[in-house]
């Protein structure tokens, strides 16, 4: 059930996002390349929570594409030589390898702008109030109190004298991964002008479980199925959930977070079945 | 009259912008450094058109700070080694020189997010409709059909077989510089839900005149008063308004554009005096 819904929504989101990148300059080609592929977990959280909140699915495609554009920008910049220096992403050459560094900087910059354009598009959220609120929350999730401070803290940790503690790494990941997850899972409620609180709690737990599972994959996975380099964190001596907790305890923690996430949606009954399945999928995935 | 108003508004905008960058991580320090200094021409266009349209000046500070954050992000990324490779900006070390390249990428990214946060802030434009519209227009001005495509075209021109024509360079600058100018000059009308058309025409002409004057300064100026490297375009054999038109004809064209810009505001009478003085200041400036 989840597989079919995720796959159908992922295709619709990808198609919508690609069609919004207009123009035929190399910049636009590179933007389309950068948004191609991926599991669209964040976009699916938007479409699925929108469905649960009674929002027209065609309207939900706009914020779903918005969050995928934001996520794609963050990957392009994270892969840059001066940050993670990754040559492969989603099984293909990264943007700065296929084009060059200047193009990768500009592609990321333009995808961030595009993300706001899509989140604020009049064909998306049905009211001006909901659009303004989605845009404001997106800015806060993406910026210096959300994703970017998480990324900056992650870089700072690499050269810090002491490895991060569990609390510090959890805080860091709440910014780096969690903020966009929270935006995604609350978008439906914001569009419907409903209370976003239960979805916030769900997304925080799912986001942390997602990141723990990423650390597990970095230790147990192979680069072919992961579609990107693995084993980098261990090689760099970086503190991760696995290095701090051990492999089994990390898996247990991810499972506990998943249960907690699902519990927060209990009051929605069967309407939350796919969000619950999504939470379980996130800790079971191998890539 | 212009000098006092520009100086007072520039100080208020700078103060407001700096106070919105909260936090004490190196990222936040570097963001405050990056937004420090500059003439605040774009921010002043916001506060002055807002004044003309009857908007509370305290509300106007939000979009004024927003456009200055957007402009500052574009400078930090443009200065990167992989783009313009500039070590000096506003008479000081650029962000990647003072910190490093990773920090410069993240500072730019976070300043772009901040720009949207400020433009969409409830204390800014008085209605949700105006805020959603300001945000949407800001996204379009900044992204792949505005500022970023202008920057990408500028980079592509450096390695193109033929130098740009006058039409091509005008198109490029309409994106690279013009789009943010248009946003700035129309923000007051959008906030007041007035017709932005006359301000759009004003900003397009002023933006082009601004860029022509930049090319003039690159030929006639010295790096001390310009606060950045000069003579780079000529040394690189790049087509500029000066190389295409000659120095005197470029100055004449800038003056004609300034007159045209002022004519579009004639119907506002004395209320447009400072915007008219601003247009004249832009072509008379030496830095």
Instruction: Report chain A residues whose CB lies below 8 A from the CB of B26.
Output: 152, 156
Return all residues near B40 (Cβ < 8 A) that are at least 6 apart.
Answer: B6, B9, B10, B13, B14, B64, B68
**pTM for the whole thing?**
0.96
Domain extents for chain A?
A: 2-284
Rounded distance, CA B176 to CA B171, Å?
9
Cross-chain Cβ contact B27/A148 below 8 Å: yes
| Å between B281 CA and nearest CA of chain A | 31
Helix (H, G, I), strand (E, B) or coil at A193: coil
Residues B177, B204: contact at Cβ < 8 Å? Answer: no
**Nearest Cα residue in chain B from A20:** B144
Closest Cβ–Cβ partner in B112, B131, B156 for A109: B112
Instruction: Report chain B residues whose CB lies below 8 A from the CB of A77.
Output: 105-106, 109
Class of domain B2-284: mainly alpha
Closest Cβ–Cβ partner in B22, B138, B144 for A114: B144
> Averaged over A244-258, what is the pLDDT?
95
- Computed on alpha carbons and rounded to an integer, the radius of gyration of chain B in Å comes to 18
Distances (CA, A) of B84 to A102, A125, B76: 9, 39, 10
* Summary count for chain A: helices (H), strands (E): 16, 2
Interface of B with A in 145-174 (CB under 8 A): 145-146, 148-149, 151-153, 155-156
Helix (H, G, I), strand (E, B) or coil at A88: strand
Rounded distance, CA A230 to CA A228, Å?
6
For chain A, say whether B102 makes contact (Cβ under 8 Å). Answer: yes
Give which of B106, B125, B153, B154 to mutate to test A binding, by max A Cβ within 10 Å: B106
The yes-or-no verdict on residue A92 having pLDDT over 80 is: yes
Name the phi and psi angles at A249, rounded to 5: -65, -35
The model's pLDDT over A45-81, given as tens digits with 9 standing for 90+, comes to 999 999 999 999 999 999 999 999 999 999 999 999 9
For chain A, say whether B131 makes contact (Cβ under 8 Å). Answer: yes
Cross-chain Cβ contact B113/A113 below 8 Å: no
**Nearest Cα residue in chain A from B101:** A82
Instruction: Report chain A residues whose CB lies below 8 A from the CB of B28.
Output: 144
Instruction: Report chain A residues whose CB lies below 8 A from the CB of B131.
Output: 128, 132, 135
Rounded distance, CA A243 to CA A163, Å?
10
- In total, the C-beta contacts within 8 angstroms joining chain A to chain B are 160
Instruction: Report chain B residues whose CB lies below 8 A from the CB of A106.
Output: 77, 148, 151-152, 155
- The answer to whether the Cα torsion of B231, B233, B236, B237 is positive or negative is negative
Interface of B with A in 208-267 (CB under 8 A): none
| Å between B71 CA and nearest CA of chain A | 13
Exposed/middle/buried for residue B206 (C-beta within 10 Å: 0-12, 13-18, 19+):
buried
For chain B, say whether A143 makes contact (Cβ under 8 Å). Answer: yes
Give which of A106, A137, A141 to mutate to test B binding, by max B Cβ within 10 Å: A106
Residues A108, A142: contact at Cβ < 8 Å? Answer: no
The model's pLDDT over A163-220, given as tens digits with 9 standing for 90+, comes to 899 999 999 999 999 999 999 999 999 999 999 999 999 999 999 999 999 999 988 8
The yes-or-no verdict on residue A287 having pLDDT over 80 is: no
Question: What's the pLDDT score for residue B23?
Answer: 94
Question: What's the pLDDT score for residue A225?
Answer: 65
This model of the complex carries an ipTM of 0.95
The yes-or-no verdict on residue A159 having pLDDT over 90 is: no
Residues B104, B62: contact at Cβ < 8 Å? Answer: no
Question: What's the pLDDT score for residue B264?
Answer: 96
Least-confidence region, from A27-36, A102-111, A277-286:
A277-286
Rounded distance, CA B89 to CA B266, Å?
36
The yes-or-no verdict on residue A15 having pLDDT over 90 is: yes
Give which of A94, A115, A143, A160 to mutate to test B binding, by max B Cβ within 10 Å: A143
Res. A223 pLDDT band, cuts 50 70 90: low
For chain B, say whether A63 makes contact (Cβ under 8 Å). Answer: no
Rounded distance, CA B98 to CA B47, Å?
32
Cross-chain Cβ contact A113/B109 below 8 Å: no
Instruction: Report chain B residues whose CB lies below 8 A from the CB of A122.
Output: 136
For chain A, say whether B28 makes contact (Cβ under 8 Å). Answer: yes
Q: Tell me the pLDDT of chain B (287 aa) as tens digits.
A: 899 999 999 999 999 999 999 999 999 999 999 999 999 999 999 999 999 999 999 999 999 999 999 999 999 999 999 999 999 998 999 999 999 999 999 999 999 999 999 999 999 999 999 999 999 999 999 999 999 999 999 999 988 888 899 999 999 999 999 999 999 999 999 999 999 999 999 999 999 999 999 999 988 877 666 666 667 776 777 889 999 999 999 999 999 999 999 999 999 999 999 999 999 999 888 77
Beta bridge partners, B14, equal none
Write down how long chain A is.
Answer: 287
Rounded distance, CA B113 to CA B71, Å?
12
Cross-chain Cβ contact B136/A151 below 8 Å: no
Q: What is the DSSP letter of B120?
A: T
Question: What's the pLDDT score for residue B228?
Answer: 66
Helix (H, G, I), strand (E, B) or coil at A107: helix
| Å between B84 CA and nearest CA of chain A | 9
Cross-chain Cβ contact B102/A117 below 8 Å: no
Report which secondary-structure segment, H or E, holds B55. Answer: none
Exposed/middle/buried for residue B77 (C-beta within 10 Å: 0-12, 13-18, 19+):
buried
> Averaged over A153-165, what is the pLDDT?
90
Rounded distance, CA A123 to CA A49, Å?
18
């Amino acid at each position: 059930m989840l597989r079919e819904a995720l796959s159908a929504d992922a295709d619709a989101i990808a198609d919508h996002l690609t069609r919004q990148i207009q123009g035929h300059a190399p910049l636009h080609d590179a933007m389309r390349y950068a948004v191609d592929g991926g599991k669209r977990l964040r976009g699916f959280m938007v479409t699925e929570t929108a469905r649960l909140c009674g929002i027209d699915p065609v309207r939900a495609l706009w914020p779903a594409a918005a969050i995928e554009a934001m996520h794609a920008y963050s990957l392009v910049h994270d892969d840059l030589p001066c940050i993670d220096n990754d040559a492969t992403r989603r099984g293909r050459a990264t943007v700065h390898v296929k084009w060059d560094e200047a193009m990768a900087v500009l592609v990321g910059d333009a995808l961030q702008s595009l993300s706001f354009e899509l989140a604020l598009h009049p064909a998306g959220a049905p009211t001006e109030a909901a659009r303004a609120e989605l845009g404001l929350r997106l800015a806060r999730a993406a910026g210096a109190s959300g994703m970017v401070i998480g990324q900056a803290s992650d870089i700072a940790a690499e050269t810090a004298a002491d490895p991060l503690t569990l609390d510090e790494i959890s805080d860091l990941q709440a910014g780096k991964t969690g903020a966009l997850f929270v935006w995604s899972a609350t978008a439906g409620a914001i569009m419907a002008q409903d209370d976003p609180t239960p979805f916030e709690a769900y997304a925080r737990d799912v986001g942390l479980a997602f990141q723990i599972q990423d650390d597990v994959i970095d230790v147990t996975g192979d680069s072919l199925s992961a579609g990107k380099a693995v084993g980098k964190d261990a090689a760099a001596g970086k503190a991760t959930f696995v290095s701090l907790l051990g492999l089994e305890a990390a898996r247990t923690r991810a499972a506990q977070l998943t249960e907690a996430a699902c519990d927060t949606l209990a009051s929605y009954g069967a309407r939350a079945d796919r969000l619950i399945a999504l939470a379980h999928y996130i800790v079971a995935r191998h890539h």
